Amino acid sequence: MLGARIEAHSPQGTVTVRLVEVEAYCGRDDPASHSYRGRTARNAVMFGPAGHLYVYFVYGMHFCANVVCQTDGVPGAVLLRAGQVIGGEDLALLRRPGARNAVELARGPARLTTVLGIDRTHNGVDLTDPESPIRLYHRDHEPEIRVGPRVGVAAAMDLPWRFWVDGAPEVSAYRRGGRRVSGDPLVGPAQSF
């Protein structure tokens, strides 16, 4: 999905983004995944067919978006963490007036959903439907890809399931998840595996 295009259509206009950073969340085998403890009303979309959008609300103020990636009945999704705005820059800036430059527009999962105008009403939409307000298109070329630990995740920190486009300035700074224990060494981001 790195390098793929996301188009977000609304009455206000269209914003297009090229994905440069994603994270995998692997259902029943992954303690950090929302679907780890089984199906609920909130995570139901993750258990559905691939190519649909799973949107959830975090920290009482932000939305994050995932692409469902497993076969129907098996939970799994990829969190969209960052993108490069390649269309609709004016609308993107209108939605994120705090952004000081183009790089900051969609740097971070909640910023990305803000720029695309994604909220809970988009939960479950089919990204492969040409009529859908949110659409996913295949990348033209495969970019140089790097791998490392996921950002802000406390559980399963050993799983190197974050992927990003090498050198993309929109990629989030690494942040460790959970609380820090005294004497616990702070590990930085792995740059490759």
Partner DNA sequence: TTACCGATTCGCT
Partner DNA sequence: GCGAATCGGTAAC
Shortest Å, Cβ 108 to DNA: 2
Cα(132)–Cα(92) distance, integer angstroms? 19
Shortest Å, Cβ 110 to DNA: 3
Burial 20-37, CB ≥16 within 10 A → b, else e = bbbbbbbbeebebbbbbe
**Residue 60 CB neighbours (<10 A):** 5
Shortest Å, Cβ 36 to DNA: 8
Shortest Å, Cβ 129 to DNA: 22
Instruction: Indicate the residue among 16 and 47 with the shorter CB distance to DNA.
Output: 47
Instruction: Indicate the residue among 41 and 138 with the shorter CB distance to DNA.
Output: 41
User: Which single residue is written with the structure tokens 């090229």?
Assistant: 18
Are 143 and 11 a contacting pair, CB within 8 Å? no
DSSP-H helix ranges across 45-159: 89-95, 109-116
Burial 130-163, CB ≥16 within 10 A → b, else e = eebbbbbeeeeeebeebebbbbebeebeebebbb
Instruction: Indicate the residue among 39 and 144 with the shorter CB distance to DNA.
Output: 39
Kindly list the residues in this chain that would bind DNA in the complex (CB under 7 A): 23, 25, 32-35, 37, 40-43, 46, 54, 56-62, 64, 66, 77, 79, 96, 98-99, 108-112, 150-155, 172, 175, 177-179
Instruction: Indicate the residue among 135 and 150 with the shorter CB distance to DNA.
Output: 150
Shortest Å, Cβ 140 to DNA: 26
Q: How many CA atoms lie within 13 A of 81 on its CB side?
A: 26
Instruction: Indicate the residue among 144 and 187 with the shorter CB distance to DNA.
Output: 187
Shortest Å, Cβ 141 to DNA: 26
Instruction: Indicate the residue among 144 and 185 with the shorter CB distance to DNA.
Output: 185
